[in-house]
Amino acid sequence: MAFLEYLYSDHAPVEDVDSVGLLQLADRYCVPRLVNLCELYIPKEVDRSVSKNIEKSDIDVIGLLHISQVHFTLFALQLLDEIAIE
């Protein structure tokens, strides 16, 4: 629903939904501005959650890092393909 809300209203309710899932969806459908908004929000949320109580943090930091690494690798490959085409 958040993805559709963004498409229709240009408002991203990133803080109200699974921001990683929204990032993946935005990336799949090539919505770069929403990808950037999610990328800005996720580290802040991780930092906020970990700062509150590092022992009881419910965020899967390793999973987030893995997803971001995959996202970055795919982005880099797309750039290399664009450079090779030119």
73 vs 35, higher pLDDT: 35
Q: What is the largest CA-CA distance in the chain?
A: 50
Of 10, 1, 65, 67, which is closest to residue 34 (Cα–Cα)?
10
83 versus 21: which is more confidently predicted?
A: 21
> What pLDDT does 28 receive?
92
Domain spans, the chain: 2-85
Separation CA 75–CA 60 (nearest Å)? 23
Token duo for residue 55:
């022992």
Residue with tokens 């987030």: 64
Give per-residue pLDDT as tens, 2-60. Answer: 888 898 998 888 888 888 899 899 999 999 999 989 888 988 888 887 777 666 666 67
Q: What is the pLDDT of residue 53?
A: 65
How far is residue 38 CA from its own chain's centroid? Answer: 4
